[in-house]
Amino acid sequence: MNKRDLQKFKKLLLKERGKMNKEMKHIQQDTLGKSHKEASGDLSSYTYHIADMASDNYGTDFSLDMASTEQKFLYQIDESLSKIADGTYGDCEKCKKKISHERLEAIPHAMLCIDCQSTEEK
């Protein structure tokens, strides 16, 4: 891959990383950084109905799941940036073939070529 393409992908990855960091910060501030009372909007710290408790717990679990998913994407983006630095960006981690340019444009943090990804998903 030429230097111009590497710079283009690096720019895409850094942009994506900025978006992910912003989303993680939003999740942390709006959900995970609040107490149960603040998150539910209740005036009292006691929940009066089991359905209210379930709804509050679902919201927290959903936010934790989103944060976990975002963290995985951040890891993949950081790995891709490291690969750009060491000259291995665009190589499939399984078969070591080149990942198609089109795939990298769609998913700049892709670690597998389309064939290996299809096999992995089966």
Q: What is the DSSP string of 40-79?
A: HT-SSSS---HHHHHHHHHHHHHHHHHHHHHHHHHHHHHH
Tens of pLDDT, residue by residue over 59-71, are 677 777 888 888 8
Report pTM.
0.73
Q: What's at 99, amino acid-wise? A: I
Please calculate the CA angle 16-18-24 and round it to the nearest 5 degrees. Answer: 105
Residue whose token pair is 């499939």: 92
Six-digit token pair at 25? 């910060």
Three-class SS state of 91: strand
User: Which ranges of the chain have pLDDT less than 70?
Assistant: 31-57, 59
Three-class SS state of 83: helix
